Chains A and B, each alone.
Chain A
Amino acid sequence: MARSLDLHALVDGILSSLVPQALPRQDDHEVLERNRAWLLSLEDELVALFYDTLYAYPTTAEVFVPGERTTREQTLRGWWQRTVGAPIDMDYFRWMGLVGIVHIKRKVTNPMMLSMLQVVSDHVVLRARSALGDAEATQLQQAFARISTTVGAIISETYTMSYVGALEDLAGLDPKLTARMLELEVKRLEQACRAQLG
């Protein structure tokens, strides 16, 4: 882990940056708990859907090495069981912070991650409409929206901060110097990109 990165402090900071209305609420926890057994029963079909989707799309299929699907499926099973099988708490959010770091290693980009959160969420809500009825499905949809937003924010921000932190460590850069270099370069990038837009 980067010298300049404290995972606990980073995840705390990300959560405090999210407006409270976007964070999972008590009724989100309750709807998950009420439907825990049903949600856990979706594991096999979700794992199949998840990896069928990734392997079917050339851009995402490229992140895998031959023969690793079984191992990756086990990892996803663990994620699903933890996500719907126990309360969403700080331990869970910190684990999601670690996922952001692992994604750098695995070359899983944030757009890939965010799009798959959407695929999972859509499938759960679709299945809930037929299995649990509209009212319960709507509550689950709202709960998954808030959880996905929070998890997506944590993973993407941890990804970015770890990426910068690793480069900082390698080059021996003071974080204040990195911030200054970014400030200078971003001005130039902004001008160049505005010119591209015309």
Chain B
Amino acid sequence: MREDALTNILSQLNATSADIQASAVISTDGLMMAALLPQGLDQDRMGAMSAALLSLGSRVARELDRGTPEQVLVKGDNGYVLMLQAGNDAVLTVLASTAAKLGLIFLDAKRAAAAMAQVL
């Protein structure tokens, strides 16, 4: 039931912009809880790496006195990876194209993360 609710939130998020290519919610210890990902992407590795990157981002923010971290963003030649905390125990990861309007993506992803926190 919880997975269905999370998948539903991911569907709504992906529908907000054609530039969102995939999204997933992952436990902070790296286990995939729900995902809408393209075929061929290793879900296990993506889960572990997302959780690790958000952990590292949080650690950097604390160490450099930047306060509670809201998100971690990675920009590559082929697009963006955005990670947000979804409640205390989960990470929302969003893959977006290079054409994505980041302000809108941030807003929608933040709303989705808050909705996930309610479910979790």
Contacts and interface: CB of A to CB of B under 8 A. Distances in A.
Q: How large is the interface on A (under 10, 10 to 19, 20 to 34, 35 or more residues)?
A: 10 to 19
A171 interface: yes
B71 to A, nearest CB: 15
A171 B48 CA distance: 13
- Chain A's interface: helix, strand, loop or mixed, by majority? helix
B52 A181 contact: yes
A172 interface: yes
B29 A180 contact: yes
A173 interface: yes
A172 B56 contact: yes
Contact of B28 (A171, A177, A181, A184): A177
Interface in A143-189: 170-174, 176-177, 180-181, 184
Contacts of B31: 180
Contact of A177 (B44, B45, B52, B58): B52
A181 B56 CA distance: 14
Contact of A184 (B29, B44, B62): B44
Given A184-B45, A184-B48, A176 B29 contact: yes
A170 B59 contact: yes
B51 interface: yes
A86 B13 CA distance: 67
A181 B55 contact: no
Interface in B1-60: 28-31, 44-45, 47-49, 51-52, 55-56, 58-59
B95 to A, nearest CB: 19
B48 A180 contact: yes
B29 A177 contact: yes
B59 A177 contact: no
Nearest to B56: A171
Interface in A61-102: none
A171 B44 contact: no
Contacts of B59: 170-172
A181 B58 contact: no
Contacts of B29: 174, 176-177, 180
A176 to B, nearest CB: 4
Contacts of A174: 28-29, 51, 55
A168 to B, nearest CB: 9
Nearest to B31: A180
25 contacts: A171-B52, A171-B55, A171-B56, A171-B59, A172-B55, A172-B58, A172-B59, A172-B62, A173-B52, A174-B29, A174-B51, A174-B55, A177-B28, A177-B29, A177-B30, A177-B48, A177-B52, A177-B55, A180-B29, A180-B30, A180-B31, A180-B47, A180-B48, A184-B44, A184-B48
Given A171-B56, A180-B48, A184-B48, 10 more contacts: A170-B59, A172-B59, A174-B28, A174-B51, A177-B28, A177-B29, A177-B30, A180-B30, A180-B51, A181-B52
Across the A-B interface, give the 7 residue pairs with the lowest CB-CB distance, nearest first: A172-B59, A176-B29, A180-B30, A172-B55, A177-B29, A171-B56, A181-B48
